[in-house]
């Protein structure tokens, strides 16, 4: 009895000491189920489609993708923790409810080449850890969504790479962030090698100046980012300026970025540029039109001593406020179709040509790419409390076409600069606070700049995406 009482008192003491450190934990989550159909990303109805990469893996044609997220967060006066576990997969018999699947095509479970169903096992997709020492000094770590310019054109960087940094509010009109980004860190196991071999790190400094007040204000943010890309033996300094304003119902935004770098092996210098500008008019709840343009410089000679095709760390055009749409065709993996060569999330054809790579998602984007100019007109709004929409039209040009090859059998001598036209329509109906359905229909009509690259006799046709997003949230 006495021994049991001692144990009980000890347990109570442990709990008492632990109580001040405990905090409420809240849970949240989403389940997105997306029946989707991809068609003709190669712009040729007479040729079988190539597999296309999305967040769930490689697929083509009709498929059902799910993005299942379970999040939890906790915090106090000075600290915050948030984590999201995610399973993102394309449904099929082999992965919907199995960890391993055995058939004549798949090695037996337990063998060295067995194929696990990794998608059905939750992993930490995003994590953010914050400690606030003072308003001017906040420590941030983890792998949340971090960005240099996702609020404007997304030309330079936006992703959920691991980061470590500080940020804060120095005055009422001045904020800053200083972020160390680990993009790639891949030592060879069992080998003695340089501690930086295969690495890719980036360092971002971004102050933010707020001017004006009320209905007339503007935020200006200089950008300095150093990309130390040892994996591609390149080092690049990016210098830029981002601006976001509001003047009554007029909402302008812009960014300009210059890339200045070199390849460490004594290769060509890197001199490239990118820019974005747009204006949205907040006319009413139901109708907010916009006009915008984004530009990335292209290269005109892959054999000379200058690399002029712009490549950011990660082009994140798909998720930007004006031109972005999560699920439109230009933000999909157009590289699978070869002729426009933009990777997932990117609006720029920066995987074209393939030489002098110095960045981009997967570190696979070429400094000899043709660049692009996209002019956009669109509108968005809420027709009712439940029904909202976004519609937009893009005119798409290549900046330079000298490095693009004319298709076999074609009589033209060079590739035209007009890549094509895309149309996007997004309709969302919120049945409740916890369930909504969104339809996205998106097409890319090839212009002569794409047709000239196709072989003679190609059955050129439009590429398209049709997606229904069913979203449960809590």
Q: Give pLDDT tens digits for 220-278.
A: 999 999 999 999 999 999 999 999 999 999 999 999 999 999 999 888 999 999 999 99
DSSP string, 321-334: TTT--TT-GGGS-G
- 343 vs 330: CA distance, rounded Å: 9
Q: What is the model's pLDDT at position 151? A: 96
- The span from the CA of 239 to the CA of 246, in Å, is 24
In this structure, the dihedral spanned by the alpha carbons of residues 302, 306, 309 and 314, taken in order and rounded to 10 degrees, is 120
Residue 82 lies in a domain: no
| pLDDT recorded at residue 106 | 47
Q: What is the pLDDT of residues 39-96, one digit of tens each?
A: 999 999 999 999 999 988 888 899 999 999 999 999 999 999 999 999 888 887 666 6
Cβ partners under 8 Å of residue 48, min gap 6:
none
Q: Which residues of the chain have pLDDT under 50?
A: 1-2, 5-20, 101-112, 114, 117-119
Q: Nearest CA to 79 among 131, 146, 125, 126?
A: 131
Distances (CA, A) of 419 to 180, 272, 416: 37, 21, 8
Angle subtended at Cα 40 by Cα 37 and Cα 46, rounded to the nearest 5 degrees: 130
Domain annotation covers residue 137: yes
In a domain, 115, yes or no: no
Q: Answer yes or no: are the C-beta atoms of 449 and 417 closer than 8 Å.
A: yes
Q: Name 436's Cβ contacts closer than 8 Å, sequence gap at least 6.
A: 428, 429, 430, 470, 471, 473
**Residue 112, domain member (yes or no):** no
77: how many CB neighbours lie within 10 A of its CB?
5
**Is 118 among the domain residues?**
no
CA distance 437 to 472: 9
Among the listed residues 451, 364, 348, the one whose alpha carbon sits nearest the alpha carbon of residue 400: 348
How many structural domains is the chain composed of? 1
Residue 146 forms part of a structural domain:
yes
Structural domain of residue 426, as residue ranges?
35-48+128-473
Which residues have CB under 8 Å from 250's CB, separation 6+?
279, 280, 281, 282
Residues 27 and 71: beta-carbon distance below 8 Å: yes
| CATH code, domain with 245 | 2.40.160.100
Helices (H) and strands (E) in the chain, counts: 2, 25
Contact 140, 165 (CB under 8 A): yes
Residues 255/275, Cβ–Cβ less than 8 Å: yes
What pLDDT sits at residue 120? 52
- Give the pairing of strands 418-432 and 435-446: antiparallel
CB 460 within 8 Å of CB 41:
no
Kind and range of the H or E run holding 398: strand 387-398
Ramachandran angles phi, psi of 139, nearest 5°: -90, 135
Asked, for residue 138, whether it belongs to a domain, the answer is yes
Q: Which of 312, 415, 298, 416 is nearest to 368 (CA)?
A: 298
What per-residue string of b and e applies to 296-315 under the rule 16 or more CB within 10 Å gives b? bbbbbebeeeebbbbbbbbb
> Is there a domain that residue 87 lies in?
no
Phi, psi at 314, each rounded to 5°: -150, 115
Residue 22 is predicted with a pLDDT of 63
Using CA atoms in the order 450, 452, 457, 462, what is the torsion angle rounded to 10 degrees? 20
In 3D space, the residue among 375, 401, 448 whose CA is nearest the CA of residue 298 turns out to be: 401
């Amino acid at each position: 009895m006495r021994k049991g009482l001692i144990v009980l008192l000890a347990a109570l003491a442990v709990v008492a000491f632990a109580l001040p450190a405990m905090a409420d934990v809240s849970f949240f989550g989403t389940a997105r189920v997306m029946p989707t159909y991809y068609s003709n990303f190669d712009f040729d109805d007479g040729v079988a489609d190539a597999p296309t990469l999305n967040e769930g893996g490689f697929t083509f044609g009709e498929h059902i993708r799910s993005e299942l997220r379970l999040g939890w967060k906790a915090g106090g006066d000075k600290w915050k923790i948030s984590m999201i576990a995610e399973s993102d997969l394309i449904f099929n018999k082999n992965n919907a409810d199995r960890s391993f699947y055995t058939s004549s095509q798949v090695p037996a479970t337990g063998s060295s080449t067995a194929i696990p169903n990794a998608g059905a096992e939750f992993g930490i997709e995003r994590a953010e850890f914050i400690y606030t020492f003072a308003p001017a000094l906040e420590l941030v770590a983890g792998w949340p969504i971090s960005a240099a310019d996702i609020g404007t054109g997304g030309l330079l960087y936006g992703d959920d790479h691991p980061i470590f940094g500080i940020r804060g509010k120095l005055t009422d009109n001045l904020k800053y962030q200083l972020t160390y980004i680990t993009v790639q860190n891949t030592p060879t196991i069992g080998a003695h090698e340089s501690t930086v071999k295969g690495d890719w790190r980036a360092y971002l400094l971004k102050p933010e100046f707020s001017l004006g007040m009320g209905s007339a204000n503007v935020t200006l943010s200089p950008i300095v980012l150093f990309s130390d890309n040892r994996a591609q033996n390149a080092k690049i300094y990016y210098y830029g300026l981002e601006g976001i304003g509001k003047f009554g119902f007029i909402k302008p935004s812009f960014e300009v970025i210059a890339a200045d770098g070199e390849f460490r092996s004594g290769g060509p210098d890197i001199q490239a540029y990118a820019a974005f500008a747009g204006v949205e008019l907040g006319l009413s709840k139901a109708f907010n039109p916009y006009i915008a343009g984004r530009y990335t410089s292209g290269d005109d000679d892959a054999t000379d001593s200058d690399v002029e095709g712009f490549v950011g760390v990660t082009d994140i055009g798909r998720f930007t406020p004006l031109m972005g749409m999560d699920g439109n065709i230009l933000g999909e993996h157009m590289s699978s179709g070869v002729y426009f060569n933009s990777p997932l999330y990117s609006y720029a054809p920066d995987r074209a040509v393939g030489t002098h790579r110095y960045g981009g998602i997967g570190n696979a984007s070429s400094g000899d790419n043709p660049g692009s100019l996209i002019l956009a007109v669109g509108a968005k709004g809420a027709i009712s409390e439940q029904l909202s929409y976004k519609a937009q039209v893009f005119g798409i040009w290549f900046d330079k076409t000298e490095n693009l090859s004319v298709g076999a059998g074609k009589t033209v001598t060079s590739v035209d600069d007009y890549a094509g036209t895309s149309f996007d329509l997004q309709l969302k109906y919120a049945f409740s606070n916890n369930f909504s359905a969104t339809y996205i229909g998106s097409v890319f009509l090839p212009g002569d700049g794409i047709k000239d690259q196709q072989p003679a006799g190609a059955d050129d046709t439009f590429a398209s995406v049709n997606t229904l997003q069913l979203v449960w949230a809590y």
